[in-house]
Structures are given as C-alpha cells and as structure tokens.
Amino acid sequence: MRFGVRLAAAMERHGPLCVGVDPHTALLTQWGLPDTPDGLAAFSDTVVKAAAGEAAAIKPNIAFYERHGSAGIAVLERLLADARSAELLTVMDAKRGDIGSTMAGYADAFLRPGSSLESDSLTVSPYLGFGSLQPALSLAAEHGKGIFVLALTSNPEGPEVQHARGANGEAVAAAMVRQASALNDGAEPMGDVGLVVGATVGSAVSDLGIGLDGLNGPILAPGAGAQGAGPAELSQVFGNSKRNVLVNQSRGVLAEGPSLDKLRSAVREASDAAQAALQG
C-alpha cells in the first residue's frame, strides 16, 4: 500500500501528530537516563510505546543515534522494528541529499524493504537540485515509501537559499514545491511525495508565490507547540492545505517523560490540540 494512503488512514484514525524522537543529552538527563546507548534504548522504547495508537507517526532524528556510533545505530534499528510491529509509521529525519550512486546508497539504506534501517518515509534535501533526488524518489515509488522534501525550513539561515529567485523570477522553494507537486498528480487520497514546511515561516508561502494547495501530498510541519506556532500561524502558513498537514512536536511532548502514562497522555493531548488547530 502506498505511503500516502497509509499516512492518510493513520491521520484519520489517530489525528495529525508526528512525535519527534530527539534524544539529545539534555533530554536524557531530564529523564534521569545516562547519555549512553542503554539510555538511548530506554528513551526510544518509552516513546514508541507512548506514541503507538495515539499518534499518526514518529520522526526519529538519526543524528542523536549516530553520535553513539554503531551501538546507537543498533538502538535505532530496534526502534524502527518496534514501530513496525506496533503499526506506527516512521519518518526518518536524516535530511539526505547527494548525487548519483551516493544518493542511491542513502535511498537503499532507508527505503529498501528488509534494510536494517527501513523506514516508511525519509526527509531529503533537494538543494543539489531536485533531480538529484531521483534515486530516492524511484525507490520510494517502487516500494510504497514516502519522501519529505525540505522546502521552507524555519531556521534563520534558510531564506538565503530557499527565498532566492532564479533567472525566471521563481523562488527556489517554489520550484521545489512545483516539482514535488507534479509527482502527486492524480493520487488519492494524497500522494507520497511530501514537503517539510516550518509552521513558523510566517508569510513566506504567500510572499514567494508558493502553491501549497496544489501539492496533493503530506506536509510535515515542525514548529508547533513549544516552538510557538498555534492555530493562527498554522492557518497563515498552510491555508486550504491544512487537511494534509502532519504536525511535528517533540520538546512539548517529550518533556512529560520518563513516565509512560504521562507521556502517552501528552501525546494524546498534543494530537487533539493539533487537530483542533488545523480545523480552526
């Protein structure tokens, strides 16, 4: 089954929340866990249990596992297997972007069925040119996986590249959205090629002439909750495309750990809040 179909069903069933899994040092300390592979494993196991049945997806950030070397990657492999067993969709936050055989290698690592790092979807960077993503796009299409293309990120450095305009006057971010949208044409209920658009980018979508309404795919939206974006910001940024927005939250939810019950309640409340905000 295609990723867009599975994600739409998960969002319908559990609400539009994606829980970011970001086990950085400060958060592990806050949970009373050591900054070791064992602490990482305890953290990851708790988040998967709390999110299963309550959120549409989780988004593990690979950087926080890679910093522990092979032992950290082994923890990530177990997290992905546990999420699969729990029927919890995964968005691998790896932001991979390269050319040729290197991009094909990244795609094989995260999108090939049977890979130890197999995920339901992958974040990718198109800033070596949208065409450089083709190995990942092709493998994702072959195996029913999803791709989230970085389009408008909320970091302050992003605009110098994403807001720049080409010779034809089109903003770089707008070009990425246009090319992603073409790949979802005719898909029901939505396509498999999504975007990452920060919920805190303000008027950038309209200022740059970006047509999110025509994407017909999922939009992963960091920046809600603890980072300040509420109903008004979500409406300003996403407009009529709000029905396809997957709201990512990490800090505001993960602060409730290490108690599994409290964390599960926080996930449920965040999902309800995201649903209400997107309907506002």
Containing structural domain, residue 158: 3-279
Please choose, from the candidates 267, 6, 263, the residue with its C-alpha nearest in 3D space to the C-alpha of residue 144.
6
Alpha-helix residue ranges (DSSP H) falling in 15-68: 25-30, 37-51, 63-66
CA distance linking residue 259 with residue 149, whole number of Å: 34
CA distance 125 to 121: 13
Task: Write down the pLDDT at residue 227.
Answer: 62
Residue that the structure tokens 């905000």 belong to: 277
- Residues 6 or more apart from 207 whose CB is under 8 A from it? none
Which residues pair with residue 21 across a beta bridge?
60
| Number of domains the chain contains | 1
Mean pLDDT of successive 10-residue stretches along the chain, which has 280 residues: 98 97 97 98 98 98 98 98 98 98 98 98 97 98 98 94 96 97 97 96 94 96 74 86 94 95 97 88
Catalytic option among 49, 59, 95, 262: 95
CA 153 – CA 117 distance, rounded (Å): 25
Q: Rounded to an integer, what distance in angstroms lies between the CA atom of residue 98 and that of residue 90?
A: 22
CATH number, domain containing residue 223: 3.20.20.70
Q: Are 232 and 199 in contact (CB under 8 A)?
A: no
Q: Which residues of 73-89 are buried (b: 16+ CB within 10 A; e: fewer)?
A: bbbbebbbebbeeeebb
pLDDT number for residue 226: 60
CA distances from 130 to 172, 178, 220, 278 (A): 10, 10, 18, 29
Q: Which of 109, 190, 182, 177 is nearest to 149 (CA)?
A: 177
**Amino acid 173: pLDDT:** 97
Helix axes 260-279, 231-238, angle to 10 degrees: 50
Where are the strands (E) in the chain, listed by range? 17-21, 57-60, 89-96, 121-124, 146-152, 193-197, 219-221, 245-249
pTM comes to: 0.97
145 is annotated as an active-site residue: no
Determine the pLDDT at residue 116. Answer: 98
